[in-house]
Amino acid sequence: MKILIAKEKENTLQKILADINGKASAHTLNGTSKIFELTDDAERKFDALGLPLSHRKEAEIEFMSGGEVAKSYKHSRIATRLNLIRGTKDWYLVSAEQGTIGNYGGYLKFILTAAQDAKVVSIVRRSYSIKSAPNEKSL
């Protein structure tokens, strides 16, 4: 599966959500607005990290719907699990499935490649200097 995350694909995305969720609705992702919100949040996060647009390809989002419930809640709940991957300039839904969560709730993970991580670290390191310890010799 590789579905473009775009307004013109909203009906397709909605059908995928309806198909995987079945009749479950309490803790599942029922509308496409959250999908668009996830990709917008990722882009803002990458902006904050200083990751250039040209280095964002293959970044990923893992998402599981559902909030926390009281610890006394003993039953598992049906949730929606999504994986999204960034292309050169757009995001794509690459997997969508029904998931199960306990009382802990869902999650959201932004995942960078090793190269993206190295780029972010190099950008951050430009913003500070490292002071030598008093007994260290300069290189």
pLDDT per residue as tens digits for the range 55-89: 999 999 999 998 877 777 777 889 999 999 999 99
Whole-number Å distance between alpha carbons of 3 and 92: 5
Query: Which segments of the chain are extended strands (E)?
Result: 3-4, 60-64, 77-86, 91-101, 107-111
The domain total for the chain is 1
The whole-number pLDDT of residue 138 equals: 59
Q: CB–CB of 78/23 below 8 Å?
A: no
Residue 130: inside a domain, yes or no? Answer: no
Residue 63: inside a domain, yes or no? Answer: yes
pLDDT per residue as tens digits for the range 32-46: 999 999 999 999 999
Residue 131: inside a domain, yes or no? Answer: no
